Amino acid sequence: MNYDSDPTYKICSKCNTIWKTRSDYLADPEIRLVGYQVNFKELELGLFLFNHACMTTMALEANLFSDLFDGPVFTERRTGCEECPGYCLRRSELRSCPTHCECAWIREVLQVIMEWQKVKVLPG
């Protein structure tokens, strides 16, 4: 799916700000990635948590960002093993994970989002 062709990507439930595309959403300096809530049964249904300047938090499913990752996807979950730092268990932890775990791609997508160029779009 092309998330930059949808006529309305996201609407803030508090202030009704509209982002027409995912790129607009991620580039908005009033949006900040603040966490990730894991879903171990279906990783794609985990939630990326974003704060908006209007003081609301928006949750978007990880599957909406999966196309931002093009690296290896591991098949085994390693949560709780000796080399696992437990990042997925802490909602506000956004660092990459060094473990070759099925959850690692999520951690890399978090990095892509955090590094997204912020640009204020003028109304118009």
Q: How far is CA 76 from CA 19, 87, 102, 104, in A?
A: 36, 16, 5, 10
Q: What percentage of the chain reaches a pLDDT higher than 70?
A: 91
Contact 63, 55 (CB under 8 A): no
pLDDT, tens only, 98-113:
999 999 999 999 999 9
pLDDT of residue 120: 78
52: tokens are 């908006």
Q: Which residues pair with 51 in a beta bridge?
A: 32, 57
91 in Cβ contact with 35 (< 8 Å): yes
Q: Tens place of pLDDT for every residue, the chain, 124 residues? A: 555 555 678 999 999 999 999 999 999 999 999 999 999 999 999 999 999 999 999 999 999 999 999 999 899 999 999 999 999 999 999 999 999 999 999 999 999 999 999 997 665 5
The tens digit of pLDDT for each residue in 19-29 reads: 999 999 999 99
Q: How far is CA 97 from CA 46, 63, 64, in A?
A: 16, 19, 20
Residues 55, 85: Cα–Cα separation, whole Å: 31
